[in-house]
Every structure is written in structure tokens, then in C-alpha cells.
Amino acid sequence: MKQYLVEPGRKVKLAERDPGDFKGGKKDGLAEVQKLNEELQSLQELLYAEGKHKVLVVLQAMDTGGKDGAIRRVFEGVNPQGVKVASFKVPTAKELSHDFLWRIHQVTPANGEMVIFNRSHYEDVLVVRVRNLVPKDVWSKRYDQIKDFERMLAENGTTILKFFLHISKDEQKERLQARLDDPTKHWKFSLSDVEERKLWDDYQKAYEDAINKTSTKYAPWYIVPADRKWYRDLLISTVLVETLKGLKMDFPKPKDNLEGVVVE
């Protein structure tokens, strides 16, 4: 996974990362995803039972990048009691009256929980920047504020994994067209998607800066080639399983002495 990890201080260029990169075949890859999913289910149950660790998974992508699909496939079968998804839409008036991290902090994971951010606090250095919603002297300070926020979470026991699902412009075109061609997917299409696509280069630059400025040891970014959905899922699943194994978790000991107990 190291080739997809953005090392702190290392500058990456998205144009040099192939969104269509993959290794192995689709059949074997799908089988491995299924195997990893079963491992993830067991590890998530252990995370919940032990109740000591918190896990935050951040998913960011261009429109049609596959965030929803990754959540459905990678986290298929996990216990919803211990796994939550938080999506961030346009801020409400109340949210705008607070600092930009206020609404984020309210849904970060508690002990034993895994929370998946479908979009995140990074929108405040992405769409806010590209659409000129706030002045540069405001959003440019947010990189350091985000790092401080994530450091605080990490120092209080949160394991943070951030994934940028990297798709090509051609792949986005195909996925948008597929939504137009299928009446059952029209609800997923918006004319604003076409307008946002015109700003592709601006968004790529904004993502590149965000990744380079905020990939840290305690909250690393992974650039996931996402043109092939099965490979996207394989990489995310692999990182999650390896990370959870590294927490060295164990089931808690029973509160009572169960030796000799028989249920009649």
C-alpha cells in the first residue's frame, strides 16, 4: 500500500497518478475483497466489543468518484450498531454561525465506533476555494486548523485514514452519461454536476494542495486509483484490515467468573 500512501512532506502531483492503475485480475480481486470484508466484519466486532479505540475513515472524490459505492461494498455486513456514516451537505445557517469544524466534531467516532465521512471538513478547502465562497486569507488558514483538529483527535485515541478516490475525467464523463441514460438514476444527476465538471482543473489543484498540506503521520492520505471499482474497493479494504489488525485489540474479559456455569 505504500505506493498509494502520501508520505508527510512529500509533494505529489495528481496528473502523475494513474486513475486506471491496477494489479492482478478482476476475478481474483473481487474474491480478495470478499475475504477482506469477512475479516473486516470480525475486526469491527472486536473494535466495538473492546471499546477502547475510535476509527475515522474520510472519503473524498470528484463527483461520481465512487464514495457511495465504496461504502456499500467495503463495509458490507458490518454491524450498524458500531459503524456510522456521516454525510456533509451545504452548511445550514446554524452551522455557518459556528467555526467550520463545529459540525464535524459532533459526529466524530466515540470509543468502539467506526465513522465514515462521505465528504468531510475538506470541503472547506475544496469547493469553498474553487467557488470563491470565502476569501483566500480565510480558507488558506484552514489547512493548519485541519491538521491541529486531526492531531487532537489522534492524541485522544482516534485512528484516522483518509482516501482520495482518484478518477479520470473520461471516467467521470462515462459515469455521468450512464446516470442520464438510466431513468432509475436520474435522481442522482444534477445540472450542477455539469457546471462543476467545467472546473475540473481547479478542483484537481485544490485536491492536490489539500493532500500535500494535510497528509500526516497521524492522519495520512491514500490516493486510490478509482477508475476500476473493484480495485478501489480492494485497496481501501486492505488498508482498513491492516490498520485494524495493527491496533492489537482483544475481547474484554467477562465481568463474572464463568467457570462451571451451565445454562439449563
Domain architecture of the chain: domains with CATH = 2-245 (3.40.50.300)
Q: Work out whether strand 221-225 and strand 5-6 pair parallel, antiparallel, or are unpaired.
A: antiparallel
- Its pTM stands at 0.94
Using the predicted structure, report yes or no on whether residue 257 has a pLDDT greater than 80.
Answer: no
Mapped onto helix, strand or coil, the DSSP state of residue 57 is: strand
Distance of alpha carbon 187 from alpha carbon 196, whole angstroms: 17
User: Is residue 261 predicted with pLDDT exceeding 80?
Assistant: no
Q: What is the pLDDT of residues 8-22, one digit of tens each?
A: 988 999 999 999 999
What CA–CA distance (Å, rounded) separates 53 from 48?
A: 8
Q: CA-CA distances (angstroms) from residue 198 to 66, 172, 178, 189, 202?
A: 19, 12, 18, 16, 9
Is residue 230 within 8 Å of residue 26, measured between CB atoms? Answer: yes
Closest of 231, 171, 206, 189 to residue 30, by C-alpha: 231
The residue type of 244 is L
